[in-house]
Every structure is written in C-alpha cells, then in structure tokens.
Amino acid sequence: MASTPHLKRSPSRSHDRDYAPYLEAAWGFKNHWYPALFSHELPEGSLRGVVIAGHEVALRRAKGKVYGLADQCIHRGVKISARQMCLNDEHLTCWYHGFCYGLEDGVLKTIVGSPRDPLIGRVKIRTYPLEERGGIIFVFIGDEDYRPVPPLTADLPIRITDDPNPTPHLLDENLFMCGVHGLAKSNWRLGAENAFDPGHVLIHWDNAIVAATDSFIPLGFHPTSPDSVKIIDVPDGPKGIMNMYNTDTFEIVTENPVARIKSRGSQHHYVRTSFYLPGCLLVEHWPLPGMAIYGWYVPTDDRHHEYWDVAIARCNSEEERKDLQFKHEKMFKPLHFEDFYSNDIFAREAMQRYYDRQDGWHGEQLCELDSSIITWRKLASHYNRGIQEPPDWATDRG
C-alpha cells in the first residue's frame, strides 16, 4: 500500500482534469466483474434477465450450471427473458418464434417451427463469462474479445491481514450470509461515493440501529494526515482505497458546538471502510463486531444503479446459523437493510437531481472531508480496464 497526498485545499473544478476518465464513466467501467443475482434467485431450470452497464444479459441455470447470454433474439429483437420458455437443458429459447441458442456458445441450433432453416448454425448471440461464488452469480461485463479475462478475485476486496480479529472474506467457507439488492434512482458513482464518504455518517446519526445497539456514531471523520487514505494496489489483483479510521490519521468529530450537535451511542468498536474497482465496498466489523458488509454499486444505465448490501459472518455450527438467522430477521433486516440503508439511498437520489440537471460533476464544491473521494476518482481513472460506452439506443435519448 502507498499513501496518497493529503488534500489541504478545497478541490473543485481545477481538479477535474486529474480524474477526467472517471467523469466520462457515467455508464460504468467495462471489462470488470459485477454481481448479477444471488444464487437462490436462479433455481434450477429458471431464466432471469439483468441489466448491467447497458448490457442486457439472460441468465439460465441448467444441470446446476449458470449460463449468461445476450438477452435479445437476433430474429425480431425481443428480450428472451421476457417470458420463460425453457424447453430443455441445452438451449436458451426465444418464446416468440422459437429460436433456440446453445447455452455454451450462443449459436442458433434450431428454430422450433422451421427446423431446416438455412440460418441455423450460421448466426449466434453473445455469451458472457460467469462465476458463481459465495452465493452470488457474477458476470464479466465488457468487450466480447477482451482477453485474458481476469479472475474474479481481482475485482473483490483484499483479505484483511492487519487486524488481530479480521472479518471474514466473501469467499471463505462456513459463512452465514444475508443481504438485499435493488434499483436506486441515481448514477452508480453517487452510490459508490456515498458508501465510503467519511462525512456521510451524519445521515446515520439518528438511525434506529444506533439506538438499538447503543453504537457510537461520530459526526464525521476529518483527515489529519497524508496517511488517512491508503491506496491498495495488488499486482494483477484488487485496486482500491482504504480509509484508515481508528488511527491517528483521522480526527473523530464527536461534537460541533456551533451546530449544537453531539454524537450518539457509547459502544465503540473498530470500523473501517475500503473500496475497490469496479465499485465494491467492504465495511469491517459492521453491523456487529466480527461481521463484514460487502456492497456493490452496479450501473444499469447513466441514471440508475443496482445497489447490493450483503452481510457475512463466520458460522461454524447449526446453532450459530440459527442464532444469526434470528438476528437477521429481528435486527439486521429491519434496522440495517431497511432503515439504515434507506438513508443512503435517499442521499444518493437527492444528489442525482443536481448532478444530472446542473452538471454537478463540474459544479460541486468539495472540501477536506472529500480527500478519500478524490483519491478514489484518481485511482479509478488510472486502473479501470475501460470506460463503458453508452449503448446505441441511449445516444439519441433526450
């Protein structure tokens, strides 16, 4: 890890050129891995459609394996996932005229009502690389000919080694996992930056989970050192940033006498955030000590993103699993995934109006609290594997 220069002035328009590629990434970064569905959302024999960075992908599970193909029939252009027609375990079949594409290669294998058609075997739809790990189906989104496809681990958080009681990693064995994903009405970058923004804790100052757990929530984290934000640069591996909370590189702000506000909660525990390309959050020791939160901010188009919020914990027995499931139903779900997280979604969607209508990317007035945001934008500009171009249909959209 290498430290990034501490920002002592308010970076605004003059700093735009330092992360110009990021400002172009309204549709996200391409040639990266993104979560598409939880494994349980795609049972055997089923078909689901997802949209990631403008790519429409049909996901099909057959004989236990998941396949990803372009969700558009070459015949008349309908979405194949609009209706389920799963005739067998070898094909993705269009419900309209029965064009059947091979799950492995996307080649047109037959047409239900025209089995001797000369088009058969000569055309195909695109296939997408997939990985199913940790109870999540991941899709590699980008250029069809991009090679080599990097391993999934290159787009996931690092394994934490500097914590005497490290939180589990998503790919560990014997985990309990619970979480949600859904559509938010904001650009993915607003969701991403909200996730690790040291100043955004103010919106959680009066959340129900703070009262229920008596957790200490500061008013903000003010950077005081060049080491407050560190860059994660693993060769051929994850690229990201880490906010070095609970160290002497941040001033933990607990009171503002001018605003007449104080922090809530008395239970202090170690919490730290890190963020990785293409848009993956790790929060250590939240919502309870020993647990971890994974979050993704998946672009769907330039004005919406799919948010993912996943909590994991070590689970070594059926008794522990039942206890964690009880806590999920009675605390994590209502207090974290619903109440706590709804404040984040509200904030992102509130920003979208300004950033969309008034070009907030060039008009924003950032401050010292935003040093980690500036570092992220620069890192993402340098290490991304490509800027996703808008699809043809979007270029003429009003």
| CA-wise closest residue to 364 among 18, 12, 77 | 12
The model's pLDDT over 131-154, given as tens digits with 9 standing for 90+, comes to: 999 999 999 999 999 999 999 999
* Tokens 């730290």 sit on residue: 272
The model's pLDDT over 181-198, given as tens digits with 9 standing for 90+, comes to: 999 999 999 999 999 998
Q: Which two tokens stand for residue 358?
A: 């008034």
Statement: residue 398 has pLDDT above 70: no
The predicted model gives 1-21 an average pLDDT of 54
Mean pLDDT of the chain: 92
Burial of 5 (0-12, 13-18, 19+ CB in 10 A): exposed
**Are residues 267 and 216 in contact, defined by beta-carbon separation less than 8 angstroms?**
yes
Q: How confident is the model at residue 271 (pLDDT cuts 50, 70, 90)?
A: confident
Please give the residue that has the higher pLDDT: either 396 or 225.
225
Q: How confident is the model at residue 10 (pLDDT cuts 50, 70, 90)?
A: very low
For the chain, percent helix, then strand, then coil, each to nearest 5? 25, 30, 45
User: What domains appear along the chain, each with residue ranges and CATH number?
Assistant: 2-28+151-390 (3.90.380.10), 32-131 (2.102.10.10)
**Distances 6 to 3, 25, 31, 175, 241 between C-alpha atoms, Å:** 9, 25, 31, 38, 14
| Max intra-chain CA distance, the chain | 80
pLDDT for the residue numbered 178: 96
Q: Which two tokens stand for residue 167?
A: 């939180």
Q: Mapping DSSP to helix (H, G, I), strand (E, B) and coil, where does residue 310 land?
A: strand
| CA-wise closest residue to 126 among 98, 102, 96, 94 | 102
The predicted model gives 329-343 an average pLDDT of 93
Q: How confident is the model at residue 397 (pLDDT cuts 50, 70, 90)?
A: low
The pTM of the full predicted model, rounded to 2 decimals, is 0.93
pLDDT for the residue numbered 14: 47
pLDDT for the residue numbered 36: 98
Per residue, what are the HEC states of 143-187? CCCCCCCCCHHHHCCCCCCCCCCCCCCCCCCCEEEEEEEEEECCC
